[in-house]
Structure 1
Amino acid sequence: MTTIAVVGASLAGISAARALSAQGYRGRLVIIGDEGRRPYDRPPLSKNFLAGRITAADLALESDDEQLEAEWLLGVAATGLDTRRRVISCSDGRTVAYDSAIIATGSRARVLPAAAGFGNVHTLRTLEDAQRLKEQLVPGRRLVVVGAGFVGAEVAATARGIGMDVTLIGSGSFPLSGPLGMQMGALIGRLHEDNGVKLISSARVASFVCEDATAGNGRTASAVRLADGRTVPADVVVLGLGSVPNTDWLTGSGLDLTDGIRCDAAGWTGVRGVFAVGDCAAWFDDRSGAYERDEHWTGAMERAGRAVAALLADAAAAHDAPTDTGPGALDLPYFWSDQYGARLQFAGSASDADSVEIEAGDPAEHNFLAVYYRAGEAVAILGMNQPRLFTRWRKALTGDTPNKRVPPGRETGATSLSPVC
């Protein structure tokens, strides 16, 4: 093998590049990125960066002394993948021939067509997005956040910390009820309300009210109009409506692009020499029997090494498919979020559970550990300001022994604390 191309100068992309070096690859490495900057950390964009506690320089993923032996093509988007000729086409007319390729093009923010042309309606995905939004986050102004997922909830919390008047609009009953379930979502909603955020639940946006209906691009939205006729006054609007995998450039490549790039449990796409990692990749998980996109920081970090191991084994064996992609079950999904000084940590899948119980702490004080059970076995955990206990539970969930109902460190037969359901 002489050339490996990594498409995407992202966390997943640089993690793959580092894994290649750590696992002994010494050939040519080309990293293609559509943004004109080196890889940077995105989770702080909705928190410390918007709050002004860190600068763009603090987001850099590379240390000053890091020496990645790679050719960087930055500010250049990949526009096509010819898997037969093994060639990547780029937006500047260049082509990159590869022996193996790792696709890490991530995802982009979902938008509302009705929001086009409004200078005060924002999405948040890139550093440039955050820089534009930050200029408009001013104490005393009215911020309306549409979408009560991670980005929306974190922006709402950051804006309240700045001193803005914040309304959080969600299509579900509570913030984060999708990944956390209804009961725990209600507790997150209480956290936001206790900090002065106005919640509007089970709502849909119909349009935006414009101060000057005849204005062209750069017009300003003065309110958000909901499908039920209500209007919510706004000086700034942020859309946190989820993401769309960046796979359009792969149309016609022969890859399965059903909600991301479908891969096996080691990131192999089914096409010789082509792997995918990060937000754009839908890996198959034997545990759930489904293809799943892990759009969290830890997934981008951890799965890159697994994909690289399979890629190098495939190249060494020179077979039509990786000879050993490892176990089918993936690591438990894990993510965290910081809101109002509270650290939320979650591992597992709430959709697998039939009950949830508070095992420690008090939700009223925004300090607790909740365990999700299915038929008496723990399948997921949520911690709020409980890092030590959460870590112990997480280790137990990822161990080889069955996850029993008795929490780690508790005497057998002890009763659990106040049930939530």
Structure 2
Amino acid sequence: MRPIWVWLKGPLPAVPWPHSESRPDVDLTPEHVVVVGASLAGLRAVEAARRLGFPGRLTLVGDEEHLPYDRPPLSKEYLGDLPGVAPMLATAEDLRELDVELLLGAPAEALDLTARSLLIGGESVAYDRLLIATGATPRRLPGSEGLSGVCTLRGLSDAIRIRAAFDAGARVVVIGAGFIGSELASSARARGLDVTIVEALTTPLVRAVGAGAGAALSALHERNGTELLCGVGVEGLEQQRGAVTGVRLADGRLLPADLVIVGIGVVPATGWLAGSGLELENGIVVDETLRATADVWAAGDVARWMSPDFETLLRLEHWTNAAEMGAHAMKNLLDPEAAEPYRHIPYFWSDWYGHRIQFAGVPTGEPEVVTGSWTSDEFAALYHDGDRVVGALTLDRRGDIMKYRAMIGRRTSRREALAFAASRRQPIVAAAG
């Protein structure tokens, strides 16, 4: 597949590039910066480059032909009853004002660190400095290749196919009861469709939030008419004339299906970097400034960085992290001598059946419910590492989560967090009375 070159040229920002005058002894001005990955992290990176006054050549590479768009709405609003409108992050005019060269429609295939060049769609693209933000790719169900009606949700093209199946009244089976699978089931139920979720684990989301919280959140499915089958694997798929007709379970049951959505997790998109010399272990391993080598940085879902807040390697698949990390990586790329550690307290949200689930921090151990209960309509729960609060999970407690996130960043003690939780219980009691 040959890439599509799009030169969106416009006036450069009227911001002086400050570093060459203030530090003439250091080469801080690369002539050509390439960003691989035209999604949120990549877009925020090129925006940051121009905002910081970078005057050089800037290339944004994407494997899809679409301009940058927002991914979270694909499993939520885009599949709803209203006409599907692609959730674009930037228009052609936006990118023209940034003076960005776009290379779309072909994936990066290889990286030569010595020559400082990329292979994209069979063509060589040279760079002075490189930022990799290629994200992650969904795991696929073995044996489903080329079978109509079986899909994952990675990008806009996938969402278009799923929406068309929803419009046709498909019988839906979702494989995997994680956050994405649950959001898709919720969207299908909002359209009045019959939905069954198949989950291999006895309790969904154990690794993400713990057993108690996983059971509490999963109860939302039953309350909203979604059938949830746990502790059973998928044996195979039934098909007729190349189209899926059902899902065959390991216990012998057969679930009729016109649409099978596979949501069994993702893997960082690093296959094209094999043999490049970058350290690859559950992502691109970078230091606390997001630097992988002398000329390469990474950001977003593909980056695994040493977090100074939790003193461990983290790789996050969250919208907030992608946005903040892309901009921070670009800032450090443009001025490595003044690079600063990337500080980020994880945060994400998920919408199921009209409920808002929010999480901040890291899910260490089993959480402690501090507001409401696992069976109430809303609750808050905290995760601890010794006496330190390291994580918070809430259901429909939107006013609490950011306060807990700030506490996690301040290394707040369990005692202080419990005192705050006690002060927040009155609204829920008043509402019940």
1:167 is aligned to 2:196? yes
Q: 1:260 aligns with which of 268, 276, 283?
A: 283
User: Displacement of 1:143 after TM fit?
Assistant: 1.1
User: Displacement of 1:223 after TM fit?
Assistant: 1.7
1:375 is aligned to 2:386? yes
Contact residue 170 and residue 203 of structure 1 kept, 8 A: yes
Structure 2 partner of 1:86? 116
1:343 is aligned to 2:376? no
User: Displacement of 1:174 after TM fit?
Assistant: 2.8
Rounded Cα–Cα distance in structure 1 between residues aligned with 2:77 and 2:217: 20
Alignment of 1:1-400 (within 5 A): 1-53=30-82, 55-57=84-86, 59-62=87-90, 66=94, 67-91=97-121, 93-138=122-167, 141-210=170-239, 212=240, 215=241, 219-269=242-292, 271-286=293-308, 288-314=310-336, 317=337, 324-326=339-341, 330-350=343-363, 352-353=364-365, 355-399=366-410
Cα distance change, pair 285–46 in 1 and its aligned pair in 2 (3 A): same
Rounded Cα–Cα distance in structure 2 between residues aligned with 1:375 and 1:257: 31
Contact residue 371 and residue 421 of structure 2 kept, 8 A: no
Contact residue 396 and residue 403 of structure 1 kept, 8 A: no
Contact residue 138 and residue 266 of structure 2 kept, 8 A: yes
Contact residue 141 and residue 235 of structure 1 kept, 8 A: yes
AA at the equivalent of 1:370:
A
Contact residue 407 and residue 417 of structure 2 kept, 8 A: no
Rounded Cα–Cα distance in structure 1 between residues aligned with 2:334 and 2:290: 12
Rounded Cα–Cα distance in structure 1 between residues aligned with 2:250 and 2:63: 37
Contact residue 208 and residue 224 of structure 1 kept, 8 A: yes
SS at match of 1:114: coil
Q: Between 357-366 and 243-252, report the one with greater CA deviation.
A: 357-366
SS at match of 2:212: helix
Contact residue 345 and residue 390 of structure 1 kept, 8 A: yes
Contact residue 347 and residue 381 of structure 1 kept, 8 A: yes
SS at match of 2:335: helix
User: Displacement of 1:357 after TM fit?
Assistant: 2.5
Q: For this pair of structures, how many residues does the alignment match?
A: 396
AA at the equivalent of 1:344:
I
Rounded Cα–Cα distance in structure 2 between residues aligned with 1:305 and 1:197: 39
AA at the equivalent of 2:207:
G
User: Displacement of 1:363 after TM fit?
Assistant: 4.3
Q: Scaled by the length of structure 2, what TM-score is found?
A: 0.85
Rounded Cα–Cα distance in structure 1 between residues aligned with 2:85 and 2:190: 20
SS at match of 1:336: strand
User: Displacement of 1:362 after TM fit?
Assistant: 4.8
Structure 1 partner of 2:5? none
Q: Between 1-10 and 169-178, report the one with greater CA deviation.
A: 169-178
User: Displacement of 1:411 after TM fit?
Assistant: 6.8
Coordinate RMSD, CA, aligned: 2.4
Contact residue 264 and residue 284 of structure 1 kept, 8 A: yes
AA at the equivalent of 2:381:
A
Rounded Cα–Cα distance in structure 2 between residues aligned with 1:76 and 1:56: 24
Contact residue 247 and residue 257 of structure 1 kept, 8 A: yes
> Between the two proteins, what is the percent identity of the paired residues?
38
Q: Scaled by the length of structure 1, what TM-score is found?
A: 0.87
Q: Deviations over 1:235-269 (max 9, x none)?
A: 22110011122222222211112221111122111
AA at the equivalent of 1:177:
V
Unpaired runs of 5+ in structure 1?
A: 318-322
Q: Deviations over 1:292-340 (max 9, x none)?
A: 32111011011122212221222xx4xxxxx64426xx42221100111
User: Displacement of 1:400 after TM fit?
Assistant: 5.5
Cα distance change, pair 400–290 in 1 and its aligned pair in 2 (3 A): closer
Cα distance change, pair 290–202 in 1 and its aligned pair in 2 (3 A): farther
Contact residue 331 and residue 339 of structure 2 kept, 8 A: no
